[in-house]
Amino acid sequence: MADIPDNAPQHCPGTDSTEAGKSSACQGCPNQSICASGAAAGPDPAIEEIKEKMSLVKHKILVLSGKGGVGKSTFSAHLAHGLAQDEGKEVALLDVDICGPSIPKMMGLEGEQVHQSGSGWSPVYVEDNLAVMSVGFLLSSPDDAVIWRGPKKNGMIKQFLRDVDWGDVDYLIVDTPPGTSDEHLSVVQYLSAAGIDGAVIITTPQEVSLQDVRKEINFCRKVKLPIIGVVENMSGFICPKCKNESQIFPPTTGGAEKMCTDLSVSLLGKVPLDPNIGKSCDTGKSFFTEIPDSPATLSYRKIIQRIQDYCEKKK
């Protein structure tokens, strides 16, 4: 391996190896801690290959949130649906939540399998212009758990970005798991040469969620990822019977609005809780067609328009 330094101890696994700093040969090496932290690993050759592949992709958008269950996948799925309503646009949706892939179910693609072709893995198509890829398509049963540590997850993400045959795409939307760890670092790192348009950050109104989202915004700043804006989801609930609004997740500290002002990021919009959204996700249908008149749907449309404007302007 080329990445073994000249003065390295015997059996050095190489600074690029996932074993760097951790194998038995590393014990006692003065650079062990540097290797273990991953700082020594040089640029992965895959980054260039991914850049090559991604030259056909016009816009790349990450959907992030520090907190789980705030609606990242719901948002990603419907951002994809919304953009794909314009038949002239090609949209791709990549699910990098390796341990809890929800996208197959939300897109109504459960049980679908990925096929291998000469030019790589073929994604699964929901419509002619909407392609989806998820680890869910690689599992044999819905009970299968992906019990993987970081390096294996990173390998999978690399494959998703490098080996999936997306073709010419206008928008690539990447849905992520909660947190600021392996998956997020890998996506940002692998797409660094190709360039990411920006991240959409999803939150719910309560402080318990906002405190995680602030961390995510700091993460974006640390890795120099532009932030398109914040979406406040589950913001208020309108009772289907009496039409009165109540706050299930009360914005005790001012909600996303105040956080956005404090941290000077833009607020893309608020989406109210609507039981029909959960229902259409469970049945794998798009709520743009299921409930076109719901206030939540209208709010979604506005947000998607803003994201589109942002991407167009950037070009």
**Residues of the shown chain interacting with other proteins in the complex, contacts defined by CB under 8 A:** 22, 36-38, 66-70, 73, 98-100, 102, 105-106, 142-151, 153, 177-182, 184-185, 204, 206-209, 211-212, 214-216, 218-219, 222-223, 237, 239-242, 244, 246-250, 252-253, 273, 275, 278-279, 281-282
> Can you spell out the DSSP letters for 153-215?
HHHHHHHHHHHB---SEEEEEEE--SSSSHHHHHHHHHTTTT---EEEEEE-SSHHHHHHHHH
| Closer of 85 and 247 to other proteins (Cβ) | 247
Does 67 carry a binding-site annotation?
Answer: yes
Closest contact distance (angstroms) between CB of 80 and other proteins is 16
Express the helix, strand and coil content of the chain in percent, nearest 5 each: 40, 20, 45
**Which pair of structure tokens corresponds to residue 9?**
């101890």
Does 35 carry a binding-site annotation?
Answer: yes
Closest contact distance (angstroms) between CB of 301 and other proteins is 22
**Among 48, 265, 71, 84, which residue's Cα sits nearest to residue 172?**
84
| Closer of 154 and 308 to other proteins (Cβ) | 154
| Closer of 122 and 211 to other proteins (Cβ) | 211
Does 242 carry a binding-site annotation?
Answer: yes
Does 118 carry a binding-site annotation?
Answer: no
The total of other beta-carbon atoms located within 10 Å of residue 109's CB is: 18
Closest contact distance (angstroms) between CB of 299 and other proteins is 17
Does 136 carry a binding-site annotation?
Answer: no
| Closer of 26 and 94 to other proteins (Cβ) | 26
| Closer of 121 and 249 to other proteins (Cβ) | 249
Closest contact distance (angstroms) between CB of 271 and other proteins is 13
Identity of the residue numbered 81: H
What distances in angstroms separate CA 272 from CA 169, 232, 296, 301, one per listed residue?
Answer: 31, 9, 6, 13
Please name the residues in contact with 70: beta carbons below 8 A apart, sequence gap of 6 or more.
202, 203, 204, 209, 233, 234
Cα(190)–Cα(47) distance, rounded to whole angstroms? Answer: 5
Kindly state the helix (H) or strand (E) to which residue 224 belongs, with its residue range. none
Closest contact distance (angstroms) between CB of 73 and other proteins is 7
Does 220 carry a binding-site annotation?
Answer: no
| Closer of 80 and 98 to other proteins (Cβ) | 98
Does 38 carry a binding-site annotation?
Answer: no
Closest contact distance (angstroms) between CB of 201 and other proteins is 12
Among positive and negative, which fits the CA dihedral 215, 61, 126, 287?
positive
Closest contact distance (angstroms) between CB of 169 and other proteins is 25
The total number of residues written for the chain in this structure: 315
Q: Angle at CA 87, nearest 5°, toward 106 and 118?
A: 75
| Closer of 150 and 295 to other proteins (Cβ) | 150
**Among 172, 104, 97, which residue's Cα sits nearest to residue 141?**
104
Tell me whether residue 301 is exposed, middle or buried, using C-beta atoms within 10 angstroms of its C-beta: 0 to 12, 13 to 18, 19 or more. middle
Annotated binding residues for ATP, as ranges?
66-73
Annotated binding residues for [4Fe-4S] cluster, as ranges?
12, 26, 29, 35, 239, 242
Annotated binding residues, as ranges?
12, 26, 29, 35, 66-73, 239, 242
